[in-house]
Structure 1
């Protein structure tokens, strides 16, 4: 099993660990300390040693932060974790803050008094983040203090070691473009920016650029490391020596020098002494590296990670690979849906059993390398927790008369998948069916949208929400996130969400389409497929080239929950055509005994 279901934290963590942290803060003469969820690489999913926020607070979500003062503390999360943070952290220790309305710097402005010393780890904060904190410190007259060693790392006596898993080449069969071609593109971007080199600190960009993968991070095939690329296309790749096998140097070629990751600071200092112009992404690079460069005499050239856009806009081989991965994965999910419709309808199956069953079916493919995230297996009220993670403590049965929400995905060498289906256990209520159909209407509206060049995901978000808005409903998460190619299941810069985003959608970008509805303490509904932005094409009678989405996820959408009379003819046509494609594509991959069931659940309505 890739997943485990024992609780990774509990509400006692703060009571046990905050005194230890505050003791170390006192030694450093700190009145407060900022704890981001981020690790030194700004990863979403982080290695066990970097779970500093969870150690201090008990909160195990993939996004959040905390500020620990000597006499109080606050924890910051967004709408995805409103319920989870209250379940996992003790309100006797923490004030709960919605980060979308009150950011850390704003909270510090109001709560950090004059001359107080507020500490932060410069390896865990970006330049952009530190600049916001500095503005707050100037406004409120507190002192912002960079620590040389994180006090949590001192207080956390059984902290796990950093991972040292082997780095492997990612075949051209799946990558679609040689590393030297990619480095040439990055070199052109460096020269255009007026820099001599660029410091790449994001592991997904390093994996993409050098066509390598690793397993330092669960659920994401990432090798942790750093890289410097020069304007001539030559590069230095910084990896722990234990990760580098005999074959890797030959695969990377003579233009890539492999050095130990601990050498990064020395190389940056050398660049500084040479007066080099070094490009860095202020939103990604650890502030310590920027400070090292400046102190050594380098000129800093702000530059958005030049790998981000070409990594997000997949090439034709990557797109074809992800189509294949989704067919394979869709067949597995469909077999699981059959199991839900038969064996799980008794009311005796629980969330962990269901999650294990889906993983078991997926694992029958020898192409599966990992899950793309821990499955969200939510029955009844747990389905209303957007990023719910089932444990032996929270596990409940799929009771009859309730809804079951399963959000899951797989990591395959040819693609990363992410799919959510909502299934009734027993007979659903009319309210459940109505709200499921509203979510489906929003899903179809986005899936069938055409849009001109330059359109951002922010502009499209309302399309998926309108059916819910019309009756006074909504959901507190984005409608779509970017997805990598055998990389992270959450990938920027593209997204479809209410928050402003200036990144235009480009051909080859993969996103999720996942509107939902959540009735607290009762049930959750979400329908998620992955979609690919098409190439520009003319529309008959139009005067602008337009793009559209191709839906690549293939698995039945539950028809028992659909109220056909709420759908327009256009919406019925889309659903029928989608199910016809699901049936035609997946039927050869499914067991013969599923034939009658499969035809029924993909029937035209």
Structure 2
């Protein structure tokens, strides 16, 4: 069945159901960052494989919205289909919800698959379109004709025990139940896979980059039920869960349990962490308490065991990236090498360590002008040859039993220009300035964002992405609720939070520079004016000394670089495996003088 035939099938079913506009989001029942293959409806209908986008289908139009990262890719991938690309982000192009507002007439019906649509997205549409619009979302229309639809993943679950997490599920469930009691909730429902993994100390192999187990979790004052494919759960995992009061039920039985909730019950859920269909099933039968889930902050604030293990993970990972940078600087221009082959080499080096599970996201291996695209992705089919000149940016991370890493380094492969050196130094100044900042308890990331930008702003330069995102513990590389960005997110930074520090400068057609460390928030001092916090570096890998203009650095900044490099050398030198690597690390971390 080709794309035209799929559209015809969908339109026929829309007519049967009385749906005038059908919306296809990029999501799955668990609101996963990386959508499970079984639920990639947008990809199935359009052929567009980018990580974000929306589709609206009517009887006469088929529209695909993609942002600026994907305009070229989307245009190419929908070529020959009946889909029209809406270049979201360009002047005069309405976003899909605004387009619906202008086109949907009173009394018309908007449809979507409620199983994969976040409830929060549905609520925004209701607010945008008003109460004269009808909504239908109980059926999976595309599923009715999806041939050879991928099954749910079948990876085995494993236990990440207290040696790594510092707490057992019984303790975490106890804290959750205390929060439930405070809110007057009889039940709490988790659909997001990282929250479930965190709560139960389970991890799995159901996603390429995040070690999760596809499941749901329902908690009440006496029972905990994990809805999961039992084939994923071996005897040892089942025994561990039972010991912590968790019983197993079939994955597909979850909605029956939600429907069975009593009118006297009160279910604690979060509208942005549940799909529209399940929210409806719960709210039709019982009272809903819709607030941030307790697990959101619990997993964001790492305990002492987790922070210590994260430190170990970053020694392992920093050493791997250092070995890789040694290799690429030695081989660029001497062997045939493209961005994708370089990316595979980095995987090979990381995978040598016994604690390595997987990458934490698709590596960005970007040479010269490709690095100016902040989310560039090389592939076996689409890549550039790497030569002994220009800048090379690598943004990558790993999942280890000891934690999750995310690091970006930009290096010169030969003959750096004055502009490249200046841009790198300005980026490094912002990176250092943010790290050295001390801040009062109650400070949010949005208050600190300017610290990473001020040196650039003096030169009339800025970057369009956020400065920092939260990172999970052997879980999602992007974790909320905190961030460091221009966006007003009122979540104070607290000790134990792990967050990235990643300013950058991007010049289209020339180069892209980004420097990223993960840091953890730490206590600094308490005075008569209050409690103050600071940051501790987790990432341990040299900066690119050949791109640093010392004349642009303050004494404090230069001192920081030398102290950081000393720490990198002391912690990672024993992980270098050849004399060449040892010599490279020693040179890369040697004292920089004026």
TM-score by length of 2: 0.93
Q: For residues 147-546 of structure 1, what are the structure 2 equivalents within 5 Å?
A: 147-149=138-140, 151-232=141-222, 234-253=223-242, 255-272=245-262, 275-295=264-284, 297-346=285-334, 348-535=336-523, 537-538=525-526, 543-546=529-532
The Cα of 1:277 is off from its aligned counterpart by 1.0
> In the alignment, which residue of structure 2 is the partner of 1:575?
561
Distance 1:153 1:429, change over 3 A: farther
Instruction: Decide whether aligned partners of structure 1 residues 253 and 137 sit closer, same or farther in structure 2, where only a CA change above 3 A counts.
Output: same
CA contact (8 A) 1:458 1:499 kept: yes
Give the deviation of 1:357 after TM superposition: 0.8
Cα distance in 1 for partners of 2:61, 2:457 equals 39
Contact 1:441 1:567 (C-alpha < 8 Å) held by counterparts = yes
Partner of 1:7: none
Distance (Å, rounded) in 1 between the aligned partners of 2:368 and 2:3: 29
Contact kept? 2:66, 2:86, Cα under 8 Å = no
Find the residue that maps to 2:432 and give its secondary structure. Answer: helix
The Cα shift of 1:68 comes to 2.9
Alignment: residue pair count:
587
Distance 2:273 2:315 in 1: 34
How far apart in 1 are the matches of 2:454 and 2:90?
Answer: 25
Q: Distance in 1 between matches of 2:453 and 2:75?
A: 27
Cα pair 2:517 2:537 within 8 Å, conserved: yes
1:586 alignment partner in structure 2:
572
**Structure 1 CA distance for aligned equivalents of residues 103 and 473 of structure 2:** 43
Note if contact 1:378-1:405 (Cα within 8 Å) is conserved in structure 2: yes
Please give the secondary structure, in 1, of the residue aligned with 2:509: coil
| Per-residue CA distance 1:443-484 (angstroms, 9 max, x = gap) | 111111111111111111121122222222222211111111
Deviation at 1:26, TM superposition (A): 4.1
SS at match of 2:546: coil
Q: Matches of 1:94 and 1:154 in 2, distance apart?
A: 26
Superposition deviation, residue 347 in structure 1: 7.6
Q: Using the alignment, how far apart are the partners of 2:7 and 2:548 within structure 1? A: 49
1:509 CA displacement: 0.6
Are the equivalent residues in 1 in contact too, given 2:433–2:451 (CA < 8 A)? yes
Change (3 A) 1:537 1:102: farther
Shift of 1:134: 1.2
d(CA) in 2 for partners of 1:226, 1:210? 11
1:135-189 per-residue CA deviation (whole Å, 9 max, x = no partner) reads: 22327x443221412x332343132111122222212110110110000000000
Indicate if the aligned counterparts of 1:538 and 1:545 stay in contact, CA closer than 8 A.
yes
Q: Contact 1:169 / 1:211 at 8 angstroms: preserved in 2? A: yes
For the Cα contact (< 8 Å) 1:318–1:415, is it kept in 2? yes
What is the match of residue 46 of structure 2? 57
CA shift digits 1:362-385 (9 cap, x unpaired)? 111111111111111111222122
Shift of 1:435: 1.0
Q: Per-residue deviation at 1:593?
A: 2.7
**Which segment is superposed worse, 13-22 or 374-383?**
13-22
CA deviation profile, 1:301-331 (whole Å, cap 9, x unmatched):
1121111101110011111111001001111
The TM-score with structure 1 as length reference comes to 0.92
Is 1:599 the counterpart of 2:586 in the alignment? yes
CA distance in 1 between counterparts of 2:68 and 2:308 reads 35
Residue 248 of structure 1 aligns to a residue whose secondary structure is helix
In structure 2, C-alpha distance between the alignment counterparts of 1:420 and 1:430, rounded to whole Å: 22
Tell me how far apart the structure 1 counterparts of residues 552 and 71 of structure 2 sit (CA, whole Å).
31
Counterpart in the other structure of 1:143: 134
Separation (CA, whole Å) in 2 of partners of 1:157 and 1:453: 55
In 2, distance between residues paired with 1:88 and 1:443? 37
Shift of the 482–298 alpha-carbon distance from structure 1 to 2, 3 Å rule, reads same
**Equivalent position to 2:89, from 86, 94, 98:** 98
Instruction: Name the SS of the counterpart of 1:369 in structure 2.
Output: strand
Q: Which runs of 5+ in 2 are unaligned?
A: none
Residue range with higher mean Cα deviation, 393-402 or 184-193: 393-402
1:8 maps to which residue? Answer: none
The two structures, once aligned, show a CA RMSD in angstroms of 2.4
Cα gap change, 1:81 to 1:501, in 2 (>3 Å): farther
Closer, same or farther in 2 for the Cα pair 1:54/1:564, shift >3 Å? farther
Q: CA deviation at 1:15?
A: 6.5
Following superposition, which runs of at least 4 residues in structure 1 exceed 6 angstroms of deviation?
A: 13-16
Rounded to whole Å, the distance in 2 between the matches of 1:385 and 1:54 is 22
Partners of 2:78 and 2:485 in 1: how far apart? Answer: 28
- 8 Å Cα contact 1:483-1:491 kept in structure 2: yes
Report the CA distance between 1:237 and its aligned residue: 1.2
